[in-house]
Amino acid sequence: MKKILLLIILLFAIYSYSQTTAEEYNNRGIAKGKLKDYKGAIQDFNKVIELKPDYADAYYNRGMAKDDLKDYKVAIQDYNKAIELKPDYADAYYNRGMAKDDLKDYRRAIQDYNKAIELRPDYVGAYCNRGIVKGELKDYKGAIQDFNKAIELKPDGADAYLNRGFAKDELKDYRGAIQDYNKVIELRPDDAKAYLRRGLDKYMLFFLNSSLDKLDSACLDWSKAGELGAEKAYELIKKFCN
C-alpha cells in the first residue's frame, strides 16, 4: 500500500512539475517576444505545446510570434487551434482577423472581427480594424459607423479619429475630416499624418472655394508635417505653396 501511495505521489509531482514548466516556458516565450526574439519565442511555445497540448494560450502566443515574422498563413493555423480549444477566445478571433487582413482576405477578416465583437461587445480594436477593412472594400459609410463605435467606447483613441478622417476624405466630406484630424492633433500633437491630411483637405477647400486663407493654413500644416518626418509634405509645399 505504501509503494502504491508513493508511486501516486511521485506521478502527481511529475505532473505538477510539467505544468509549472509549461507555464515557465510560456512566460519565457512572451518575454522573448517582447524583446523581438520571435524565433526564440516560437521554440518556447513549441515546448509548452509539447508538455501541454491543450494549452490554448500557447497556440495563441505562437501565432502572434509567427505574425511578427509575417508568416501569416501558419499563424492562422495556430489561431485556429486556439479557437478549437477555447471557442470563446475573442483575442484569437481578433488576431486571426488581422492575419487575414494582412493576406488581403478582407471579407473573412471581417467575419473574425464580427465574432470578436460578438464575444466582447466593447472590443475597441475589433471595431477599429473592421472599419479599416471596410474601407479597403470601399464601404466608407460602414467604416465610419465602426469608427464611431470605437470612439464612443474610447473617446481618447486617436487612431479611430484618424481613420474616420480617412473615410470621410473618400466621401469628400473634407470639413468633417478636418474636424477628425483636429481631434487627432489634440490627442497626439506629433502625428505627422494628421497634419499632412488636414493640409490636403484645407487645400481641397481652397481649390473648391478659392479661399486663400485655407491655402495658407494648408501650407502651415504641411510645414509641420515635414518637421515631424513626412517627406511628402515638402513636395506639396514646393508644388502649391511657393
Q: Each residue of 18-46: pLDDT tens digit?
A: 455 899 999 999 999 999 999 999 999 99
Q: Which residue has the cell 472594400?
A: 137
What the block records as the C-alpha cell of 14 is: 511529475
| CATH at residue 16 | 1.25.40.10
Residue 135: C-alpha distances to residues 50, 95, 148, 151, 214 (Å): 41, 19, 14, 17, 27
Please indicate, yes or no, if residue 172 is contained in any of the structural domains: no
pLDDT at 238: 96
Asked if residue 6 has pLDDT above 80, the reply is no
Confidence of residue 12 (pLDDT cuts 50, 70, 90): very low
The last residue of one of the domains, among 88, 116, 134, is 88
The parent domain of residue 76 ranges over: 10-88
* Cα–Cα distance, 139 to 159 (Å, whole number): 18
Is residue 214 very low, low, confident or very high in pLDDT (cuts 50, 70, 90)? confident
Residue with cell 485655407: 214
Contacts of 123-127 spanning 24+ positions with Cβ under 8 A: 123/90, 123/94, 124/150, 124/153, 124/154, 124/157, 124/160, 125/94, 126/90, 126/94, 126/97, 127/153, 127/160
Closest CA to 74 of 45, 106, 107: 45
pLDDT in tens, 143-183: 999 999 999 999 999 999 999 999 999 999 999 999 999 99
Domains held by the chain: number: 2
What is the 8-class DSSP label of residue 75? H
pLDDT tens-digit readout, 95-136? 999 999 999 999 999 999 999 999 999 999 999 999 999 999
Q: What is the pTM of this model?
A: 0.88
Q: pLDDT by residue (tens digit) across 63-89?
A: 999 999 999 999 999 999 999 999 999
Domain-located, residue 219? yes
Q: Chain-wide mean pLDDT for the chain?
A: 92
Q: Of 33, 66, 88, which marks where a domain is finished?
A: 88
